[in-house]
Structure 1
Amino acid sequence: MQSFVDFIQGFLDLGATVILPIAIFLLGLLFGQKPGKAFRSGITIGVAFVGIFLVVDLLVNNLGPAAQGMVDRLGVELDVIDVGWPATSSIAWATTSVAAFIIPLGLIVNVIMLMTKMTKTMNVDIWNFWHYTFMAAMIYTISGSIIQGLIAAVVFQIVALKVADWTAPMVSDFYELPGVSIATGSTISYSPGIFLVKLLQRIPGIKNWDADPDTIQKRFGIFGESIFIGLFLGALIGFLAGYSVGEIIDIGMAMAAVMVLMPRMVKILMEGLMPISESAREWLNKHFGDRDIYIGLDAAVLLGHPAVISTALILVPITVVLAVILPGNALLPFGDLATIPFVVAFIVGAARGNIIHSVIVGTVMIALSLYIATDVASVFTQMAENAEFDMPEGSAQVSSIDQGGNLVNWLIYRLFSLFN
């Protein structure tokens, strides 16, 4: 069992830039493409994800230290440390009793749902199956039952695929990614924010508060372009972190680069994805009648819209302040502050890029995540100890905003807790 888990972990360690081209190439062959055309699509998408993840690393490597600087300046002392998604995924895969089953089980469930028309999403975002693994590991930890853990993982996956189907039209319309859906566990957790956006846009006065990138550019001219918005917001975060003038300029330039480069990478992605989407649609129409099919991808592809990065950069200091002022919160946000763009992407899409509305709803959802992450900290810490995870110095417990503060994960966890 351990050797199989090691094989799975080694496969996942290859990353999206290796796994995805292989998956796309095989899908292309399945849908009747010539090998050369399928191979080109796979390589093009792989190249796009190399670029996307390079830009994401630029974002994370600059935003993480700045966030830590803000925490240090505020002198925040809380008992639960946000260890971030990399540590969280490692803790999940270390629960070998259930981890070995997740990828094959997840693929089988997806195929069955496609064949029975329960979903339109063919999810090739395999490396993000760790969200399902964490769900299974959490339930296994409280119940000691492998079966219960796997059932919980399947429930999480079904919810993720249904949310992916539901939000796919918005992904196509607003993000201009036709044929793409997003089933990433952290992103679908914030989908209830879509309803809050709709509610907000019906409130007199507030519904007229409009600050999408196009409006900002019209109002401020050249200084309203996404490159200047990134420069300004990045510099502001550097200032709040107590950086020197040179460091403030440096992080400002990094965020400006993220704003400019990410949309370019997403365009390359679509160049490779469109032939596969068209072939998939033709194949399904031939064998199953007129059906839409979505290719499930990592939420990173949504970061190409400047409103997503703008909203996330504003929410970083807000999240730190929320951690300080919310009564009952014990989570010190750190590791997952740089993942905020991923979790707010659906909210931004629902708000049609309105940064003001996105920040308001994002604030509410992040506050909820802080409380959820605090609530699951004890079992999260138990999982970390079982995985022999090195606890951060000075922390009594660990959790995370991404999966520890995941609403879907928490609801399933609470449901299974009733029986354990």
Structure 2
Amino acid sequence: MQAIIDVFSYINSLGASVMMPIILTIIGVVLGAKFGKALRGGLTVGIGFIGLNLVTGLMGENLAPAVQQMAQRFGLALSTVDIGWPAASAIAFGTTIGLIIIPIGLIVNIVMLLTNTTQTLDVDIWNYWHFAFTGSLIYVLTGNFAYGIIAAILNMVIIMVIGDYTAPKVEETLGMPGVSLPHGFTAAFVPIAIVVDKIIDVIPGVKNINIDIEKLQKRFGVFGEPMLVGTVLGIIIAALAGNNVQTVLQIGVTLGAVMVLIPKMAALLMEGLMPISDAAQEFVSSKFANRGKIYIGLDSAVGVGHPVCLTVSLILVPLAVFLAVILPGNTVLPMTDLSVLPYMFVLIVPLVGGNGFRALITGIVCLVGGLYISTNLAPSITAVAKSVNFAIPKGAATISSICDGANPLSWVLVKAHSVGAVGLIIAVAVAVGLALMNRKRIIKEAKELHAEA
């Protein structure tokens, strides 16, 4: 077991940009793609990840200092430090559960594929850290290692089902055929988006509001283009932080660049994935008559380039800080993780049909709930961090994050396990029930596809 753990720990230490090309190349060849084609596709995906990380890092590097200056300028003092997703993932992978989450996740995925309870081949094993994060929280809370492992597995099962459920909408709205997004952070907001969308549907007048950002961009010409929208929003954020004219303009142009470059990096990711996705569909069609369509599960990073996703995310940056200050009982000031706001919207946008108004309203609801969740989970997150000798920032009472500290699914699982065996039984029943419902839908879809053929 230790040897297996050491192998996967080494693979994980390579990072997503190295790990993904290796995994995708191997999977592509196994599925029948020529080695050269699979290798090129895998490397293209890896390069796309590097480019995307550079651009989102650029976004974070400019937003975080501006927010910090804004906090100092207006005298905002909140006791919980937003450590950001890189630190959160390091903490998750640093726990005992984190060390074995990759082989466990692969086994769960294979079992679900074989039992027809998922249509997704999730190659995004880097992001299994989200499941380890949930499991580690519950392990620390209960002191029961088995509970932690079970929670991580339940988290993955639920997210895989959500990935299947949203895949057709991802194809339609985001233009990603053969792709699903079983991302532990992004997919967790899907239930909230569904509920908010249903509520808006029954409100007279409001239900008819449709802000089509893509059409607005065309109507306003150059002034509606992403680069102009990003530049203007960047200038507003930097000005609120009290920066001088030079810095205001620099941040404005930088965020304008982010709005242009992120979609290009996302397109590069999709270009690399297509040969592997096509090979997967051909393999399934020839080998398994009852499987229906198979999706390749990817990091939600591939969808952050959608104009609605980016625009609404930037609008919510100053709003997130404002909400953090006015919400009674909140202790978290969003800072390092402001750059992950686009990831929150990747599946919200398809679920609301690309409607900018509904995406914005849903985002506000998710942010309000997320701030309270991250506040509530902060003591547990701090305890997990201390257990792996993570250096708590000086002066911080507790630490948290937006990703995954504000994750509603993690919070629900933590609360379920906090009441003991009864909560565990309920959580297992819900996950199994969703998997069986998904199986029924998959089999029905497969029969319909083969009947048409």
| TM-score over 0.5 for the pair | yes
User: How far apart are the structure 1 equivalents of 2:387 and 2:146?
Assistant: 19
Residues 5 and 99, structure 1, Cα contact 8 Å, conserved in 2: no
Q: Which residue of 2 aligns with 1:313?
A: 314
Aligned partner letter, 1:230: G
User: How far apart are the structure 2 equivalents of 1:154 and 1:382?
Assistant: 22
User: How far apart are the structure 2 equivalents of 1:248 and 1:60?
Assistant: 15
Q: Which residue of 1 aligns with 2:84?
A: 84
Render the CA deviation track for 1:345-404: whole Å, top value 9, x for unaligned: 222222333323212211111110111111122222211221222222222111222112
Q: Which residue of 1 aligns with 2:234?
A: 234
User: How far apart are the structure 1 equivalents of 2:266 and 2:385?
Assistant: 35
Render the CA deviation track for 1:191-219: whole Å, top value 9, x for unaligned: 12321134324422223333332232244
Distance 1:395 1:50, change over 3 A: closer
Q: Which residue of 2 aligns with 1:141?
A: 140
Q: Which residue of 2 aligns with 1:57?
A: 57
Q: Which residue of 1 aligns with 2:157?
A: 158
* Bigger mean CA deviation after superposition, 346-355 or 294-303: 346-355
Residues 213 and 226, structure 1, Cα contact 8 Å, conserved in 2: no
Q: Which residue of 1 aligns with 2:109?
A: 110
Q: Which residue of 2 aligns with 1:356?
A: 357
Q: Which residue of 2 aligns with 1:292?
A: 293
Residues 63 and 335, structure 2, Cα contact 8 Å, conserved in 1: no
Q: What SS does the aligned partner of 1:111 have?
A: helix
Q: What SS does the aligned partner of 1:81 have?
A: strand
User: How far apart are the structure 1 equivalents of 2:64 and 2:354?
Assistant: 24
Q: Which residue of 2 aligns with 1:21?
A: 21
User: How far apart are the structure 1 equivalents of 2:383 and 2:17?
Assistant: 33
Aligned partner letter, 2:281: R
Normalising to structure 2: TM-score of the pair? 0.88
User: How far apart are the structure 2 equivalents of 1:120 and 1:65?
Assistant: 42
The question of 1:124 aligning with 2:123 is answered yes
Q: Which residue of 1 aligns with 2:384?
A: 383
Render the CA deviation track for 1:142-180: whole Å, top value 9, x for unaligned: 222221111110000001101111111111111101111
Residues 217 and 223, structure 1, Cα contact 8 Å, conserved in 2: yes
User: How far apart are the structure 2 equivalents of 1:397 and 1:69?
Assistant: 21
Residues 213 and 225, structure 1, Cα contact 8 Å, conserved in 2: no
Residues 48 and 265, structure 1, Cα contact 8 Å, conserved in 2: yes
Q: What SS does the aligned partner of 1:75 have?
A: coil
Q: Which residue of 2 aligns with 1:333?
A: 334
Q: Which residue of 2 aligns with 1:278?
A: 278
User: How far apart are the structure 2 equivalents of 1:263 and 1:333?
Assistant: 24
User: How far apart are the structure 2 equivalents of 1:237 and 1:162?
Assistant: 38
Residues 67 and 337, structure 1, Cα contact 8 Å, conserved in 2: no
Q: Which residue of 1 aligns with 2:344?
A: 343
Q: Which residue of 2 aligns with 1:40?
A: 40
What percentage of residue pairs aligned between the two structures are identical? 43
Q: What SS does the aligned partner of 1:295 have?
A: strand
Aligned partner letter, 1:249: L
Q: Which residue of 2 aligns with 1:169?
A: 168
Distance 1:215 1:119, change over 3 A: same
Aligned partner letter, 1:155: L
Q: 1:69 deviation in Å?
A: 2.1
User: How far apart are the structure 1 equivalents of 2:255 and 2:87?
Assistant: 25
Render the CA deviation track for 1:123-157: whole Å, top value 9, x for unaligned: 11111111111112111112222211111100000
Q: 1:34 deviation in Å?
A: 1.7
Aligned partner letter, 1:301: V
User: How far apart are the structure 1 equivalents of 2:201 and 2:67?
Assistant: 31
Runs of 4+ in 1 over 6 A off after TM superposition: 1-4
